[in-house]
Chain A
Amino acid sequence: MHRLYHFARQEFRHISRDQMLFLFMMAPLVLFAFVHWAVPALEHAFPVITGYYPYISMFGAMQTSIMMGFISAFILLEEKDEEVIQALRILPLRASTFLTYRLTGATLLATVGAWLIIRWGGLVLVREVPAILLATQFGLLAPLISLVVSTFARNKIEGLAYFKILDLIILLPMVSFFFPGWWTWLLAVVPVFWSFHAYESAIHGSHFALWMLTGFLVYALAMRILGHWFRKKVWNGL
């Protein structure tokens, strides 16, 4: 716990001294405000949007997690750019331990942000336990984003480009709700596909546990693969 606090304090200092990261840090609150107040206010002008409430809520939870993942990715990219990674590698610290500490803060914040939107956003009603499970799964998107960007982007500029592309890719599985068909299973390789469908089943009450469980397995697999790549390409520098 002490070490976790140590990392969290260092990350907070880092974020508070970087204007862009500080703005990103505010994203969960801005998204919550958008979902909770702005969307219902727009309903009077555009009544049609009520049919899209579940998807707006899903989008909010997803976007919160992406933002937190991006902050963590940017800190990792800075460690890469400034070669701090080398100094970290000669600490009595394993790559997996370092990653756990570095990604925990982003995951927790993403989970809390997603929970706020899912449980208290007010657009759709999701019960307490499913809301926590859904928020936890959406929260896992943050370390995935962080690992993809920090492993494959060579610097912060590339990191921004990756962020934009990933934002679009992660949104793709939502298409499966509007254009259903067998082909939508192709989108199942994107972990958030399972979170979206678990969310929908939590609202409509069918196969929630199955979607959720499969989702956690897909996230775990993705995390393992990306963790391996991070270790190989960034930590070991090969």
Chain B
Amino acid sequence: MIQVSELSFTYPQRQQAAIADLNFDIAAGEIFGFLGPSGAGKTTTQKILFKLLPGYQGSASIDGIEVRDWGIELYHRIGVSFELPNHYLKLTALENLQFFGDFYRKQYRKPIDLLAMVGLENAANEKVGAFSKGMKMRLNFVRALQHDPEILFLDEPTSGMDPANAHLVKDLIRQLQQEGKTIFITTHQMYDAQELCDRVAFLVDGRIRALDTPKSLQLAYSRKTVDVLFKGDELVKSYGLDGLGQNSGFWQDLQTREVVTIHSREASLDAVFMEVTGKSLS
């Protein structure tokens, strides 16, 4: 559905490329994530894909058509939730959705139902200027859905939200995937990427450093051991996962001693990111 090949972009009056030689593709119905710290080039890549940044090098295509060749028809097919809220502050939430919704042919749900999806139905007639950042972000999110797009670009979709609302939005993202939508998320929230994405790419300084499923990345960088804490010990005892079934010492300890805790050592995505890129996500 989305193919990116050798994609590079340099902002005018800048020496250094914001992104360089990116290669990835996103299949229909997939949730794909860009994970990286601020300034890594995540938003730049998305902006190229929804045609806000012309003058890129390499290739970026949607449905086999190069982005630069798409006309305004592209915007019937994609929905965008920006990193920062951008609404008419003097209009109400409902008026904002009605204004933007009027430009499209299709309607996913009625504006009031969209607001209800993210718990904003009681604030439908309040001016957006009085909203908290989290409320504005939820409005951003449903505005991106209102014309029932096939592809969704979600830039930091849970930014500024409390845990309950972030959870609600993540559930909605999964539901949208079930409905067949292709979703491209950028985030620096490791847990969001881990929970939502089928595949993630680690982006640092405009370059992709790793790309795989979150599970594969975690397994690839995990220590392959089982750590057991026995009663009376102060330190955990580690056993190699390879050949664990034939490890007589492990079985003997299990049979003769009382186990307090037992864990395999899976690396968190955050730790994998640090190991691969040498940088932290914050």
Contact = CB atoms under 8 A, between A and B. Distances in A.
A6 B88 contact: no
Interface stretch (B75-83, B171-179, B226-234): B75-83
Contacts, number: 63
Interface stretch (A81-89, A185-193, A194-202, A214-222): A81-89
Interface string B124-165: 000100000000000000010000000000000000000000
Given A6-B102, A238-B12, A90 B50 contact: yes
A13 interface: yes
A17 B127 CA distance: 10
B86 A236 contact: no
B191 interface: no
Contacts of A89: 52
Given A6-B99, A6-B102, A17-B127, A90 B78 contact: yes
Contacts of B91: 10, 13-14
B53 to A, nearest CB: 9
Nearest to B52: A89
Interface in A206-230: none
Contacts of B54: 236
**B: contact size bracket:** 20 to 34
B104 interface: yes
Given A13-B91, A13-B95, A18-B90, A92 B50 contact: no
B24 interface: no
A90 B151 CA distance: 13
Contacts of A90: 50, 52, 75, 78, 80
Nearest to A93: B103
B116 interface: no
Contact of A14 (B73, B82, B90, B102): B90
Contacts of B90: 13-14, 17-18, 78
A6 B104 CA distance: 13
B241 interface: no
B102 A86 contact: no
A207 B99 CA distance: 46
Interface in B54-79: 54, 72-73, 75-76, 78
Given A82-B89, A91-B104, A237-B52, 4 more contacts: A10-B95, A87-B86, A92-B104, A93-B72
The 9 closest A-B pairs by CB, nearest first: A83-B86, A92-B72, A92-B75, A17-B90, A91-B103, A87-B86, A90-B80, A84-B86, A6-B102
